[in-house]
Amino acid sequence: FGDFNKQPSNLSVPESQPAVLFCNIHSVPTAQIRWEQNTKPLPHNTRLDCKAEGVPKPKIYWLKNGKPLPNEARIKRQPTGLVFSHTFSSDSAIYQCFAVNAAGKTWAAAQLKQNTFHIPSPPENVQCRPFDETSICLTWRSPQNISVSAYSIYSFYTAMGLEISGPEFVTNETHQLATRLNGSTNYTFYVRLYSKIASDQSQEVTCKTGVTGKRNLRVKAINETSVELTWSNISSDVPCDDAKKEAYKVQWKPKGGRSSAKFELVEDFSCVISGLSNSVDYEFRVAPSWLKNDNSPWTIFTRRNGSKIGTEMIAPEQVEASPISSTSINLTWLDANDNTQYYLICIVDIKKQNNCDESDLIKSVSNSVQISSLQSETLYEFKVRAHSSEDCFSQYSQPAEVHTPADVPSKVLNLGYEIVNETTACLHWQTPMRKNGKLSNYLVSYTANDNWLLDKWLNKSVSTTQNKVKGCWTGNDRTFSTLLVDLKPEREYTVYVRAVSDGGFGNVIKLNTNKQKIVEPPELQDDIQYNQKLGINHTIGVVTLAHDLI
């Protein structure tokens, strides 16, 4: 603010009373740009600092060779500049830092030069395939005549139009099982090799996590003491190196028995197990022989004297499970029997148990049922059994697996704001009580006209690591904050703050600062749509700091 004691010529006031004028002083921004070094060897981490000052605080925009800098997971945009987690020869360019505020704009530039002499060729023929719910297999070839000491594998996925870094791996083999990934997510990978110096990145490949194929384990009685097992292969049967021959370990044991299971190694997709007791129910399972930690589900084969099990009635087929929401699925199947009275459905949370609980089956009189009250982001197995009476029923169908989607996060907590000046407000909040998965970021959307469609609002992304650096609001490690700048004086703004996860945007709460009344929608899950796109909103009344002449 400026304090003027000189009386303006267009004011009529007594000479003994000075006129005081309050006004906002804006200054054109300044910018300085600096590399840690100008020349970097591959694949060095590097940082580009841009020191920008001005009143009001300027916004920073980045250009690369005169074009907007593309979003890449390995390039972090921080308030103080750019951080490259690793560099490639394509990063050699002229970078411009533009600083813009209401008073004007300015820019500074620097050139990054990569030492690309004699860099080796990158890995070739990079391929990926799904392995299981949280893993993807990668293979590649090394270029000829290059002595390779190691390979590094990088991953990322895209959410809300932003690239998000995934796990990184180092190996001296030409294959890698990428683990610790999110379920049902498309990941993009690239590989670089290290000889005397590092290569550039390979071509990118993209695969989605999840098991492909179905085991379809079938148990058929041959006689009173023998059964025949048949099955199909699934994606996790084949190891990433493809070196181990595809073989299977068939296990069986009495149902509920505590003794160790018997097993037999086979190299086909069928086998006959003999020497069983005709008065005992058995459990069977099949897994690849090379797998150390076998978590494959057990299939129960029931044999009871005096009943017609597995002979008169045929097990339901083509069982299909499809998610309706994060906590419910629709289950359908086909039945070739003409005497079915009802069905019993077995539900198994694969991570918690392997067997059906006979006392907790779901009954249905039709071959289609909606099952709710499930857990979000959980792998379930469903099997169906046909009944003509209580004592006459088929074997269970082949299992149908489904991974329920991630639920949306709950609302963020303690949303509030403070006025910084006539064009700036500090917005602050705390993490949701229920994250329902890993949060990728917070999305702040705001507008002075809440009649506009949401995609027309101004958006600002806040990283989930932002609370590790100083924001505009102090609090505990669950507190996040951000500045809303360039707001128009004497206008009221509506703001949404939404936690973002793989399941979508967080739930909504509306707070009207004028009426000081909070209206919350029902918290019942049935009232939340799976594809819900609204989060928390908050109406900000921006107070003007401008003063008239007095």
Strands, E, within 79-178: which ranges?
81-84, 93-101, 104-115, 124-132, 135-141, 150-159, 162-165, 169-171, 175-178
Query: What is the band of 297 on the pLDDT scale with cuts at 50, 70, 90?
Result: confident
DSSP string, 290-349: T-SS--PPPEEE---TTS--SSSSPPPEEEEEEEEETTEEEEEEE---SS--EEEEEEEE
Average pLDDT over residues 352-373: 81
| Whole-number average pLDDT of the chain | 79
CATH number for 306-405: choose from 3.30.500.10, 3.30.420.140, 3.30.70.100, 2.60.40.10: 2.60.40.10
- Residue 452 amino acid letter: W
Query: What is the band of 315 on the pLDDT scale with cuts at 50, 70, 90?
Result: confident
Q: Where are the domains of the chain?
A: 27-115, 124-208, 306-405, 413-541
Query: What is the band of 466 on the pLDDT scale with cuts at 50, 70, 90?
Result: low
**CB-CB contact of 343 with 388 (8 Å):** no
- Rounded Cα distance between 243 and 361, Å, is 42
Query: What is the band of 290 on the pLDDT scale with cuts at 50, 70, 90?
Result: confident
CATH number for 413-541: choose from 2.60.40.10, 3.40.50.2000, 1.10.3720.10, 2.160.20.10: 2.60.40.10
String of b and e for 238-253 (b: at least 16 CB within 10 Å)? bbbeeeeeeebbbbbb
Token reading at 87: 């560099």
CATH number for 124-208: choose from 3.20.20.70, 2.40.160.40, 3.40.20.10, 2.60.40.10: 2.60.40.10
Average pLDDT over residues 498-513: 61
Say which CATH topology domain 27-115 has. Answer: Immunoglobulin-like (2.60.40)
**CB-CB contact of 248 with 289 (8 Å):** yes
Q: 124-138, 226-240, 357-371 — which one is most confidently predicted on average?
A: 124-138
The whole model's pTM is what?
Answer: 0.55
Give the pLDDT of residue 20: 57
Give yes or no for a cis peptide into 143 (omega within 30° of 0): no
Token reading at 368: 């289609």
Average pLDDT over residues 274-297: 84
Q: Is it true that 124-208 and 306-405 share their CATH fold?
A: yes
Query: What is the band of 353 on the pLDDT scale with cuts at 50, 70, 90?
Result: low
- Rounded Cα distance between 57 and 102, Å, is 9
Which one has a higher pLDDT value, 348 or 468?
Answer: 348
With 70 as the cut, is the pLDDT of residue 25 above it? no
Which one has a higher pLDDT value, 328 or 308?
Answer: 328
